[in-house]
Structure 1
Amino acid sequence: MLKHQTKTHILGAENRERAWKTLTTQEFDVLVIGGGIVGCGAALDAATRGLKVGLVEARDLASGTSSRSSKMFHGGLRYLEQLEFGLVREALKERELAMSRLAPHLVKPLEFLFPLTKRYWQRPYVSAGIFLYDRMGGAKSVPAQKQLTRAGALRMSPGLKRRSLIGGIRYFDTVVDDARHTVTVARTAAHYGAVVRTSTQVVGFLKEADRVSGVVVRDSETGAVGEVKAQVVVNCAGVWTDELQSLSGQRGRFRVRASKGVHIVVPRDRIVSESAIILRTEKSVLFVIPWGRHWIIGTTDTDWNLDLAHPAATRADIDYILAHVNKVLVAPLTPDDITGVYAGLRPLLAGESDSTSKLSREHAVAQVAPGLISIAGGKYTTYRVMAADAIEAASQFIVARVAPSITERVPLLGADGYHALVNQTDHVGAEYGVHPYRVRHLLDRYGSMVHEVLSFADGKPELLSPVDAAPDYLKVEVVYAAAAEAAMHLEDVLVRRTRISIEYAHRGVDCAQQVAELIAPVLGWDEATLDREVALYLARVSAEVESQRQPDDESADALRAAAPESRTRLLEPVTDFAR
């Protein structure tokens, strides 16, 4: 056992057993339900206020919405048109904080081209909006906008049709690997004392008189059941918010409406452009985002009333994206160009409008019952504000004095020392025998924890070689995911700790066996478990690919939902555990 595996932010198998015992034998000030970005942020906020915090997640960290976004940590330029000035200002402040202080290793500036298509009025209109956008959040980490002629815009993005624009505006926003960021927030919370446990499903609520006093949890791996006592429970379950409110026996003060967003991933050489591109559609906007050696293109915005855990992309969704992006491309994309597809659900507050694209992205916090707080809505970028608001609302049920939120001054793990290491890339590479470009890749995923990651290859130099069928990733990253980042299944590694499932045309199938063999000794798998994990992943990919050929949500959902779960003891929420 490596010495550093005793560190609190190491979320491995040993930590998992200890966490179950702690959760079921001690009382917490705050128990957070949900391992998405808001739940992890709430755990970090509460822990850094000095509170005793537990976080439980039924599946994996970021397994829902927080791994399926547009990969942008942005203010939401389009919300200016909807006059959501407060939301945009708040989000832009958070964007600046993330880039400059909290997570510079994860949140990166990104150059955008806004193609102009209308003469006379559009340039001053859009310029004024981007001017506000640049100023509202106190942005200091990105350059101001730049006006471009048609020739200038085409120099930035030669892959656009000349007739598709009359000019352009260059501006800056940001890009982030949402799943990696969420995992880092969770590990930072653990570093400050939060007890974080995945594969731990809430199946009931504990009550004393009319007050919620904790939850009943079930281990999604073993089926073991236990009770977790807390002064206050905070429901950060995203699109599952209504289910948890119902499980508590309360209706709640708001409902959450799921809106499906689909993205496609294509190789970088399919679109010739130096920058990201933002395109207007009749319903919303379409982003073309550089993503390593790929482009991510999306998104759609449609109601979803089916399986919340596995939203399915349809052929209609994919055709919609291709049709709109192909309107402006010199070389049209075809379905054969697509290496990956993913679908996510936005947890929108219901009731503001019949159209999901017009639903507010503001968040709401409400007391569902004494001792139970729910938070929903919002957007990924404002997770820290949402988390602080949730814990502030929860503080009324905590006996001890609760300190104010300080997370705007708490860098995430890997942030401190990151900039210095960027300047020492060659030295780090020489120390470990790794090419400097590999070190840069690792720095942008782990920041100053790069030494910790590479130390898992001590005495095992073969781990410093790439995964055979996914050479963007080193084998040591796979081992680290299982040993330190709470990955418990092959799916967790291929889909969230890495992005192999969308970055390679084989969707992870060609490296599933090798990756499973790398993590098997870390997680204590025998041969039968290893074979089962590979078979489950192959079934998942097959179901996803087949669902993406279906014409409608219902048929796509039926195929995707038929794939077996890797967490075999997951239950539908049941009320007979409530007591």
Structure 2
Amino acid sequence: MSIATDLGPAQRAQALAAMSATSAPGGTPLDVLVVGAGVVGAGAALDAVSRGLSTAVLEQRDYASGTSSRSSKLVHGGLRYLEMFDFGLVREALQERGLLLTRLAPHLVRPVPFLYPLHHTWERPYVGAGVALYDAMAMAGKYDMGVPRHKHLFRRQIARMAPDLRTDELAGAIRYYDCQVDDARLVVTIARTAASYGAHLASRVRVTGFLREGDRVVGVRARDLENDVDLEVRARVVINAAGVWTDEIQEMVGGKGALHVEASKGIHLVVPRDRIRSETGFITKTEKSVLFVIPWGRHWIIGTTDTPWQLDLAHPAASKADIDYVLGHVNTLLRTPLDHDDVEGVYAGLRPLLKGEVEATSKISREHTVVAPVPGLVLIAGGKLTTYRVMARDAVDMAARTLRRTVGDPGPSITDRVPLLGAQGFETRTNQRVALARTSGLDIGWIDHLLGRYGGLVDEILPLLIDRPELAEPLVHAPDYLCGEIVYAVTHEGARHLDDVLTRRTRISIETFDRGVLCARQVAELMAPVLGWDSARIDEEVDHYLRRVEAERQSQEKLTDQEADEARVQAPEGPWAV
């Protein structure tokens, strides 16, 4: 059997055909159907299919279009949880950090240094003990630590390392390491890995209801938003991994459920790297949350906030008050303050926070919960990016209880031993980077760029650039990306619309002061041949994106969440969107 390793248009059509066949006369239901293709949904699909279960995924928008593309982009243990004495959670997250960095996704996850500023002499033994415990827990895990140990620094060392950090009120700092990842790229890579093992995945398909036999859920009704076609997909177990949409999914089964999810908004700013001279990131506590200043290529990511959000779930809006809050706190650390003119990009995401009591049958950790409110349906919510694999495992474990009665015991999770696509060959190709530059004709800097985004899958994209030299050119108004990366995003990474590419397959929408407006048409024209767009459709995609950017800019001028939301939702959705 030939199995696709890409998420291109042909794969989507095949996946939908396979799902529809489950409800045809004589059709065989899937073992597992996952609703939602954020990091947990994609992870659940990989976990299920790698156990030998027939698996499919439906996503109403784009892969990672919600919370999973709008995080702080950190793979970390959660240093602040030590202060809450939540040692089990920190240990679990550090173990997953080491696993991702050294085994599962070394091409996507990389170490990043942080300074923890000390404002008083007495903080050094207190914070130092916490960071020492953090490192010790990482070293004591089952997997390699993968990052250097922490180090105590004094003001003179800080001044050399971070010239723009104010040191006049500091007693010193502690440098420690965590990791970072492009969260959306991680999700797409997990999804592609699941597809490579036989899972069927389709984005832009909205679940509209559940199929029932008595009390049991036996599948879903859905609508293909790209083709305006309704379908039914039958499955022995449906796993809902819809994040902040969990309550809406529970309403579809008559309000039965034990998870009560509230959305908390976190916003991040992106500023050019040259605005803050430093070799390392920073972390400090605020009265409401933790402030990170994170190196991000030629940029810094600064965040975050933590405020309740009860408005539009699809498009959370950052207000001027949010931006002022982040700027105000980061400026207490800097010699030269930042202002609104320094901000290249802004993004807002929603954390699905669990509230209230849960059923006694649920599996609970401090960060996520899994429940089975009715037979045939599993709900999972909460958690964090770093521990997605644990969440996915727990969800499939609960699904396995039902499957044992019908298809036999699927066995335990093996995803701790299943590297993501691109991990294999990454180190070898990195060692061969000079030879790759020579044979491809690309500058070695571009080879490093491609290796850092695709790992061993560079073997797929380089032939495209060699065969079509025009695709080896940088985008005119976003020269950090090659034209071939846009084409590859459509042919292999499931991008269906201009917004998918500018916002998630690349980060052009937050890494340029124009928010991707100037390169939108060039990108749409590169996508068009693969997706069969005519000139009218190109115009429609560009117009939709420009309106979205303008609505976001307007929302970021408003003082309150309500005003920001009203401005953001003014952007009309395309006929394909939800």
Q: Where in structure 2 are the equivalents of 1:249-268 lying within 5 Å? A: 249-268=254-273
**Which residue of structure 1 aligns with residue 360 of structure 2?**
none
TM superposition shift of 1:283 = 1.7
**Which residue of structure 2 aligns with residue 449 of structure 1?**
457
TM superposition shift of 1:454 = 2.1
**Which residue of structure 2 aligns with residue 287 of structure 1?**
292
CA distance in 2, matches of 1:247, 1:456: 45
1:113 to 115, 130, 137: 115
**Which residue of structure 2 aligns with residue 575 of structure 1?**
none
User: Kindly tell me: are residues 340 and 360 of structure 1, through their superposed partners in 2, closer, same or farther at Cα, counting changes over 3 Å?
Assistant: farther
CA distance in 2, matches of 1:334, 1:7: 51
**Which residue of structure 2 aligns with residue 355 of structure 1?**
none
2:158–2:167 CA contact under 8 A, matched in 1: no
- The alignment partner of 1:19 has SS state of helix
1:475 to 455, 479, 483: 483
Select between 188-197 and 132-141 the one with higher mean Cα deviation.
132-141
2:18 is aligned with 1:22: yes
**Which residue of structure 1 aligns with residue 75 of structure 2?**
73
**Which residue of structure 2 aligns with residue 406 of structure 1?**
414
The number of aligned residues is 558
2:376 is aligned with 1:371: yes
**Which residue of structure 2 aligns with residue 460 of structure 1?**
468
User: Kindly tell me: are residues 164 and 498 of structure 1, through their superposed partners in 2, closer, same or farther at Cα, counting changes over 3 Å?
Assistant: farther
**Which residue of structure 1 aligns with residue 132 of structure 2?**
131
2:544–2:574 CA contact under 8 A, matched in 1: yes
Residues 360-385 of structure 1 show CA distances to partners (whole Å, capped at 9, x for unaligned) of 85100001210000000111100000
Residues 376-425 of structure 1 show CA distances to partners (whole Å, capped at 9, x for unaligned) of 01111000000000000011221122111000000000001101111111
**Which residue of structure 2 aligns with residue 487 of structure 1?**
495
- The alignment partner of 2:465 has SS state of coil
Select between 270-279 and 343-352 the one with higher mean Cα deviation.
343-352
CA distance in 2, matches of 1:13, 1:346: 31
CA distance in 2, matches of 1:454, 1:522: 18
Q: Where in structure 2 are the equivalents of 1:154-173 lying within 5 Å? A: 154-173=159-178
Select between 433-442 and 37-46 the one with higher mean Cα deviation.
433-442
1:63 to 56, 65, 76: 65
**Which residue of structure 2 aligns with residue 13 of structure 1?**
9
2:154–2:173 CA contact under 8 A, matched in 1: yes
Q: Where in structure 2 are the equivalents of 1:163-562 lying within 5 Å? A: 163-351=168-356, 362-398=367-403, 399-400=406-407, 401-562=409-570
Q: In structure 2, what residue type is equivalent to 1:337?
A: D
**Which residue of structure 2 aligns with residue 577 of structure 1?**
none
Unaligned runs of 5+ in 1: 1-5, 353-358, 571-579
- The alignment partner of 1:217 has SS state of strand
Residues 280-335 of structure 1 show CA distances to partners (whole Å, capped at 9, x for unaligned) of 21222100001110000000000000000100000000000000000110110010
- The alignment partner of 1:473 has SS state of coil
TM superposition shift of 1:458 = 4.6
- The alignment partner of 1:196 has SS state of strand
CA distance in 2, matches of 1:420, 1:101: 14
CA distance in 2, matches of 1:119, 1:126: 11
TM superposition shift of 1:531 = 0.5
CA distance in 1, matches of 2:161, 2:365: 33
CA distance in 2, matches of 1:446, 1:566: 30
Question: Normalised by the size of structure 2, how large is the TM-score?
Answer: 0.95
TM superposition shift of 1:567 = 5.1
Q: In structure 2, what residue type is equivalent to 1:406?
A: I
TM superposition shift of 1:22 = 0.5
TM superposition shift of 1:566 = 3.2
**Which residue of structure 2 aligns with residue 564 of structure 1?**
572
Residues 417-445 of structure 1 show CA distances to partners (whole Å, capped at 9, x for unaligned) of 10111111111111111111101111111
- The alignment partner of 2:529 has SS state of helix
2:472–2:484 CA contact under 8 A, matched in 1: yes
- Identity rate of aligned residues, in percent? 57
**Which residue of structure 2 aligns with residue 143 of structure 1?**
148
Unaligned runs of 5+ in 2: 23-28, 358-363
1:30–1:234 CA contact under 8 A, matched in 2: yes
Select between 277-286 and 383-392 the one with higher mean Cα deviation.
277-286
Q: In structure 2, what residue type is equivalent to 1:112?
A: F
Residues 29-71 of structure 1 show CA distances to partners (whole Å, capped at 9, x for unaligned) of 0000001000000000000000000000000000000000001
1:68–1:343 CA contact under 8 A, matched in 2: yes
1:489–1:566 CA contact under 8 A, matched in 2: no
CA distance in 1, matches of 2:181, 2:366: 19
1:59–1:567 CA contact under 8 A, matched in 2: no
CA distance in 2, matches of 1:347, 1:53: 25
TM superposition shift of 1:15 = 1.0
CA distance in 2, matches of 1:47, 1:363: 22
Q: In structure 1, what residue type is equivalent to 2:348?
A: A
CA distance in 2, matches of 1:418, 1:301: 37
User: Kindly tell me: are residues 386 and 108 of structure 1, through their superposed partners in 2, closer, same or farther at Cα, counting changes over 3 Å?
Assistant: same
Q: In structure 1, what residue type is equivalent to 2:177?
A: F
Q: In structure 2, what residue type is equivalent to 1:128?
A: A
Q: In structure 2, what residue type is equivalent to 1:205?
A: F
Q: In structure 2, what residue type is equivalent to 1:363?
A: H
Q: In structure 1, what residue type is equivalent to 2:531?
A: L
2:58 is aligned with 1:50: no
2:68–2:187 CA contact under 8 A, matched in 1: yes
Q: In structure 2, what residue type is equivalent to 1:412?
A: L
TM superposition shift of 1:155 = 1.7
1:349–1:361 CA contact under 8 A, matched in 2: no
CA distance in 1, matches of 2:466, 2:572: 36
2:157 is aligned with 1:152: yes
2:466–2:472 CA contact under 8 A, matched in 1: no
- The alignment partner of 1:456 has SS state of helix
TM superposition shift of 1:222 = 2.0
1:112–1:173 CA contact under 8 A, matched in 2: yes
